[in-house]
Every structure is written in C-alpha cells, then in structure tokens.
Amino acid sequence: MRSIARGLGLGSAAMALTALTALAWPGTAGAAPAGTESLYAPSALVLGVTTGADADTGTVVRAVTLVCAPTPGGTHPDPVAACGELLANGSQLDPLAAPAADSVCTREWNPMTVTADGVWEGRRLNYTYTFANPCGLRNTTGVLFDF
C-alpha cells in the first residue's frame, strides 16, 4: 500500500487536492470559509489602464479583475487565455505587455500605463508597464492587457 501511495507522485496528489478544493466550496469561486487557509496558492489580480506615465498619480480609465485559482474567472473578457499566459510566463509580465514585434506605431509621447496588482501564486505582485502612446497598448503581445 505504501509503495502504491508513493507511486502516485506529486502531480497526482496535487490534482486530487485541486479536485477536493473545488468540491469543498463549489459556490464561492475561490473564497474559502472565513478564517481558513486555501488549499491552493491564491492568484488574483486587478489589471488597470492608466493615463500618463505615472501609475500612482494618473487616472485609471478602466480596470478588470482576473482570478486564476482554483479556476479562471473575474471580469476580464478572456480569463482562460489570460491565466494561461500568466502560467506560461510566471510573474514576468513584460513579454505579455510589450507591443508585438510586427506592430507598426508612430512614436509620439502620449503615454498610457498598464498595472497588475494583487497576488500571484501566493506572493504579492505589483507591476507597471508604460507605453509611449495608445498604439502600443492596442498591439500588446498577449491578451492579458487586452480589455
């Protein structure tokens, strides 16, 4: 019996744990009962678009939420794809924000800044990326900031 249990490996154990979590709180989309710890590392972000180059003083013109654990959700228009990009890139968001290599933009200075704030895999995350003008934002490589 012992050898069978060991034979499951970490991957299967983690999958079983995820399934158990989903069963335990089916209606709350990621919130455990108050005062308890989640059985998974929390991943939830607020993504924003701010006018200007300074995220702390500029006006946030739009914002969405993105939850990636235990399942993708939030007000982001495509949570499944956005969470997939984050899983592939970890907390390194520059490759997702940067304009695609084949995009053609003018170069005037009319900055827009995107922000990602919250928690990624159990660690606090605060991220900003500034585009020279709105054209760069319209041509981001990923779907994460496409909202």
Binding site for a second copy (CB under 8 A): 28-32, 34-38, 41-46, 48, 50, 55-56, 58-65, 67, 73-77, 115, 117-119, 122-124, 126, 138, 146-147
The least distance separating a second copy from the CB of residue 50, rounded to whole angstroms, comes to: 7
- Of 112, 118, 115, 91, give the one whose Cα is nearest residue 30: 118
The least distance separating a second copy from the CB of residue 134, rounded to whole angstroms, comes to: 9
Q: Measured from the CB atom, is 46 or 132 closer to a second copy?
A: 46
Phi, psi of 9 (to 5 degrees): 75, 170
The least distance separating a second copy from the CB of residue 11, rounded to whole angstroms, comes to: 22
- Of 78, 79, 49, 81, give the one whose Cα is nearest residue 67: 79
Q: Measured from the CB atom, is 3 or 36 closer to a second copy?
A: 36
The least distance separating a second copy from the CB of residue 119, rounded to whole angstroms, comes to: 4
Paired tokens of 81: 């794809």
Rounded to 5°, angle at Cα 25 from 19 and 28: 120
Q: Measured from the CB atom, is 54 or 94 closer to a second copy?
A: 54
Segments of the chain assigned E as strands: 44-51, 60-67, 112-120, 123-131
Q: Measured from the CB atom, is 64 or 132 closer to a second copy?
A: 64
